[in-house]
């Protein structure tokens, strides 16, 4: 039986790689792609998802967008992924359209339709999930599990010395989610994702292929001559191959710093019962091999 998933994302090059990986993984049934502002504004993120889909044939997931801004403060994007989010690689604009329905409403409706059957995979800031929790926490409790790419525990941040990008963009959303989520939840922070580097030598296999998805990947990855940490694809892989990583149960209250130099920093508080696990170890070479095998 295929695993039903919703992917909440802010494409982004590694998000685009994660979407491609998910589409190429027959174990997954993608019920929806929901877009949040992060690497780019949500409008651009939705169009980027559709641009990625143009590299594939057949029936593809519907795309919905929502939060154009974080909960409290104006969006601060990074040009790490280029002006357009896909490395300014010249990939054509899609003629496809995203759906008019609110992404948050979709995130609420689908678990009601498939209770305890859907895995929610959050690859961007947690704004959409926070809004959905505020609107209907009982519906969100019907997700089978929640996967979150975000945070850093024992390693430096990737946007400031202390913060990972997704939690930094909307720390209020991350804090709200961590304090209110009741589902079985797994956090994939930089402690594991920064161990999985896709090098130029590894992605040479795509240069030898003529399929549109291979061409798109090569164009995007040329932006990173030193290689790219595949943060978001690792979470997709974990949803298919749970033994790829090792996890520890969090036995303390988790929160996120909201302001100052530590804005976006994941912090631990007093001992508490929790449904949250944190990934702390990954079979990095196997992860790269699986990614290349799936995409190629």
| Residues designated as active site | 10
Q: Indicate the pairing of strand 3-9 with strand 28-35.
A: parallel
Cα–Cα distance, 163 to 168 (Å, whole number): 6
| H-assigned helices in the chain | 13-23, 42-53, 103-113, 127-135, 137-140, 165-169, 171-180, 190-193, 200-207, 212-221, 231-240, 284-295
From the centroid of its chain, how far is CA 102?
19
DSSP secondary-structure letter at 2? P
CB atoms within 10 A of CB 245: 20
Cα–Cα distance, 45 to 291 (Å, whole number): 23
Burial class (CB in 10 A: 0-12, 13-18, 19+), 229: middle
Cα–Cα distance, 156 to 137 (Å, whole number): 32
Q: Indicate the pairing of strand 252-256 with strand 266-271.
A: antiparallel
């Amino acid at each position: 039986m295929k695993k039903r998933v919703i992917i909440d994302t802010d494409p982004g090059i590694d998000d685009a790689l994660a979407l491609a990986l998910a589409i190429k993984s027959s174990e997954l049934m993608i019920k929806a792609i929901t877009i949040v502002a992060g690497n780019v504004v949500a409008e651009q993120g939705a169009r980027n998802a559709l641009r990625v889909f143009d590299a594939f044939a057949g029936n593809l997931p519907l795309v919905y967008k929502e939060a154009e801004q974080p909960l409290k403060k104006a969006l601060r994007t990074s040009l790490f992924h280029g002006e357009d989010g896909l490395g300014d690689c010249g990939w054509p604009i899609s003629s496809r359209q995203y759906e008019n329905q609110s992404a948050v409403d979709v995130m609420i409706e689908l678990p009601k339709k498939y209770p305890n059957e859907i895995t929610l995979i959050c690859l961007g800031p947690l704004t959409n999930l926070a809004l959905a929790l505020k609107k209907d926490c009982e519906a969100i409790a019907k997700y089978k599990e929640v996967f979150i790419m975000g945070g850093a525990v024992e390693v430096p941040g990737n946007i400031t010395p202390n913060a990972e990008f997704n939690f930094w963009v909307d720390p209020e959303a991350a804090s709200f989610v961590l304090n209110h989520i009741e589902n079985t939840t797994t956090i994939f922070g930089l402690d594991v994702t920064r161990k999985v580097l896709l090098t130029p030598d590894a992605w040479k296999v795509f240069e030898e292929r003529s399929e549109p998805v291979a061409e798109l990947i090569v164009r995007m990855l040329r932006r990173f001559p030193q290689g790219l940490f595949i943060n978001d694809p690792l979470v997709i892989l974990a949803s298919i191959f749970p033994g790829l990583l090792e996890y520890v149960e969090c036995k303390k209250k988790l929160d996120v710093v909201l302001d100052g130099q530590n804005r976006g920093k994941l912090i631990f508080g007093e001992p508490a019962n929790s449904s949250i696990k944190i990934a702390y170890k990954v079979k990095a070479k196997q992860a790269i091999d699986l990614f290349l095998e799936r995409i190629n």
